[in-house]
């Protein structure tokens, strides 16, 4: 197992109670979803959560094919500190978004993995980070299923690993070259973030 710091991002936070748990256990990133789905936040909801979040924990806004002006507004008012593009955004979209930022923030581009080629080709994408997630025809992300991590090629650009990571396989995920592990549904009970599961996963990851 590698001896790098094992970073963790907890995505899909929706309630004040979620922020309390995150502030207590201090993951490296907190994810706010603005894409359609059960975890989708309005701008106002996200702003309230960001105000309650510890300032040292970067908030990541997750978007699927959103107008760039929506993203820029959330950056400008401080609601998000990083951008995660999880849809069909191409190089031109991403370059334009970067050029329009008054406040430069890092961009993560999610790749829905079907083969090793998908990941290798993505290295030239004009983002600061990549995120490798399981491909699903039904949804852009959040399927809760993992893919074959052994198929991940050597990628020089730092990348996040998502899809089906939970307490039972978090150390296997941490043994990859991932810059950060991205978790959401595995930390929920009956569709809501569970503080005990957040505590457990961070204790497992950071006790090694």
75-82: Cβ within 8 A, 24+ apart: 75/101, 75/102, 75/103, 75/105, 76/102, 76/103, 77/47, 78/50, 79/32, 79/43, 79/46, 79/47, 79/50, 80/32, 80/46, 80/50, 80/105, 81/105, 82/29, 82/58, 82/106, 82/107, 82/108
Each residue's pLDDT tens digit, 114-145: 877 889 899 999 999 999 998 665 555 555 67
Token pair of 185 as six digits? 């549904």
Position 116 scores a pLDDT of: 79
For residue 189, pLDDT over 70 is answered with: yes
C-alpha distances in Å from residue 195, one per residue of 17, 18, 23, 189, 208: 8, 7, 11, 10, 21
Domains, the chain, ordered by start: 7-207 (3.20.20.70)
Position 167 scores a pLDDT of: 94
Model confidence at 1, pLDDT cuts 50, 70, 90, reads very low
Position 67 scores a pLDDT of: 97
Nearest alpha carbon to residue 82 among 173, 192, 182: 182
The residues carrying an active-site annotation are: 11, 133
Sign (positive or negative) of CA dihedral 12, 9, 130, 82: positive
Each residue's pLDDT tens digit, 84-110: 999 999 999 999 999 999 999 999 999
Position 2 scores a pLDDT of: 43
Each residue's pLDDT tens digit, 43-62: 999 999 999 999 999 999 99
Position 49 scores a pLDDT of: 98
Position 55 scores a pLDDT of: 97
- For the chain, percent of residues with pLDDT exceeding 70: 93
What phi-psi label fits residue 164: left (phi over 0), alpha (psi between -120 and 50 degrees) or beta?
left
Position 3 scores a pLDDT of: 45
């Amino acid at each position: 197992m590698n001896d790098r710091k094992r970073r963790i991002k907890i995505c899909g936070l929706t309630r004040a109670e979620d922020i309390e748990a995150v502030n207590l256990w201090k993951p490296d990133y907190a994810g706010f979803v603005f894409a359609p789905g059960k975890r989708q936040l309005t701008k106002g909801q996200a702003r309230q959560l960001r105000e309650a979040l510890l300032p040292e924990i970067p908030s990541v806004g997750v978007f699927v094919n959103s107008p760039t002006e929506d993203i820029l507004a959330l950056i400008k008012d401080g609601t998000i500190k990083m951008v995660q593009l999880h849809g069909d955004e191409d190089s031109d979209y991403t370059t334009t978004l970067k050029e329009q930022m008054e406040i430069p923030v890092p961009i993560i581009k999610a790749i829905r993995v079907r083969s090793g080629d998908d990941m290798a080709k993505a290295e030239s994408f004009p983002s600061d980070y990549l995120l490798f997630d399981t491909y699903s025809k039904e949804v852009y992300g959040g399927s809760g299923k993992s893919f074959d991590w052994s198929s991940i090629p050597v990628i020089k650009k730092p990348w996040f690993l998502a899809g089906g990571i939970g307490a039972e396989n978090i150390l296997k995920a941490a043994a990859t070259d991932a810059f950060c592990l991205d978790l959401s549904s595995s930390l929920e009970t009956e569709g809501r973030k569970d503080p005990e599961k957040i505590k457990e996963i961070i204790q497992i990851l950071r006790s090694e």
